[in-house]
Amino acid sequence: MERLDKVLSNSGYGSRKDVKKLVKSGKIEVDGIKVKNSDVQVDIEKNKILVNGEQIVYKKYVYYLMNKPDGVVSATFDNYDKTVIDLLSEFDASFAPFPVGRLDKDTVGLLILTNDGELNHRLISPKWHVDKVYYAEIDKAVEEDDIAAFKQGIELDDGYKCKPAVLEIIESDNNGAKVKVTIQEGKFHQVKRMFIARGKKVVYLKRVKFGKISLGEDLAEGEYRELSEAELEILKQV
Ligand code: URA
């Protein structure tokens, strides 16, 4: 059971404040009875809810794919910085989504946001081995022995030994390198710390793939869209 105003808000009829007005105006019917009280509890599976005579389409879960920009934190609230939630429209934010895992403030790229706690749990659990692919720019040349060290498992500054990771060199010379890194874990600053362990610095980091979902070219930094049904099916297959 959920409050009528929440259900209406989650069905595209505006903020809680907007829907309260709508309910008061007498335009809502629940099982054929006019309802003027927003606090009323409804069962979206059983009750037939009409707005102006039209049956509502209720969404419980939302799944967004965002191209996270630089300078924004992967959190639902922050005292100082703009969060990824601040980039959502009021309606999309009304579902109370949260980021699946975290990207650093200066990392850009693919971030999934959802209010589906169960899927979130599976996607971030190390048990499910979800591949995360990053494009990175490094301040120094990257060599074959770095690839071998990543494959072996890098030891981080706190003594943690990372699981084997795949490092691929796109280009590399004495001025620096462009690489692709695939990891299955999500330790704090993991990719940056893996390179620090090799005496190198990540100067640009972008996540391009999460599980089987790719960022693609359609979203500019700061933009987001809902996952398609097909993408959601793929994501749920982890
Ligand atoms: N590794 C990092 O160092 N930072 C990120 O944001 C993600 C992976």
Could you tell which of 192, 208, 215 is best to mutate to test the pocket of ligand 1, judged by most ligand atoms within 8 Å of the CB?
192
Which pTM does this prediction carry? 0.86
Q: CB–CB of 181/195 below 8 Å?
A: no
Q: Is the CB of 103 under 6 A from ligand 1?
A: yes
Identify the DSSP state of 83.
B
Q: Is the CB of 190 under 6 A from ligand 1?
A: yes
Contacts of the segment 156-163: beta carbons below 8 A, 24+ positions apart? 156/187, 156/190, 156/193, 156/194, 156/197, 157/193, 157/196, 157/197, 160/187, 162/187, 162/190, 162/194
**H/E run at residue 65:** strand 63-68
Ligand 1 atom nearest 202 alpha carbon: 3
Angle between helices 229-236 and 117-124 (to 10 degrees): 50
The separation between the first and the last C-alpha atoms of the chain, rounded to the nearest angstrom, is: 30
Q: Which two tokens stand for residue 40?
A: 């009323």
In whole angstroms, what is the distance from residue 66 CA to residue 206 CA? 12
In whole angstroms, what is the distance from residue 43 CA to residue 167 CA? 50
**Residue 86 has what pLDDT?**
98
Q: Is the CB of 38 under 6 A from ligand 1?
A: no
Expressed in angstroms and rounded, the spacing between residue 106 Cα and the centre of ligand 1 is: 9
Q: Is the CB of 70 under 6 A from ligand 1?
A: no
Could you tell which of 154, 158, 189 is best to mutate to test the pocket of ligand 1, judged by most ligand atoms within 8 Å of the CB?
189
**Count of C-beta atoms within a 10 Å radius of residue 233:** 11
Expressed in angstroms and rounded, the spacing between residue 186 Cα and the centre of ligand 1 is: 8
Ligand 1 atom nearest 186 alpha carbon: 8
Active-site residue identified among 78, 92, 104, 139: 104
**Residue 91 has what pLDDT?**
83
Residue-by-residue pLDDT tens, the chain, 238 positions: 999 998 998 888 888 889 999 999 999 999 999 999 999 999 998 999 999 999 998 888 999 999 999 999 999 999 999 999 999 998 899 889 999 999 999 999 999 999 999 999 999 988 888 999 999 999 999 999 999 999 999 999 999 999 999 999 999 999 999 999 999 999 999 999 999 999 999 999 999 999 999 999 999 999 999 999 999 999 998 7
Q: Is the CB of 209 under 6 A from ligand 1?
A: no
Residue 132: what are its φ and ψ, rounded to 5°?
Answer: -120, 125
Q: Is the CB of 189 under 6 A from ligand 1?
A: yes
Q: Is the CB of 192 under 6 A from ligand 1?
A: yes
Render pLDDT for 60-111 as a digit per residue (tens, 0 to 9). Answer: 899 999 999 999 999 999 999 999 999 999 889 988 999 999 999 999 999 9
Expressed in angstroms and rounded, the spacing between residue 103 Cα and the centre of ligand 1 is: 6
Domains present along the chain, CATH in parentheses:
2-55 (3.10.290.10), 63-126+213-236 (3.30.70.580), 131-210 (3.30.70.1560)
Beta bridge partners of 55: 50
Active site annotation includes 131: no
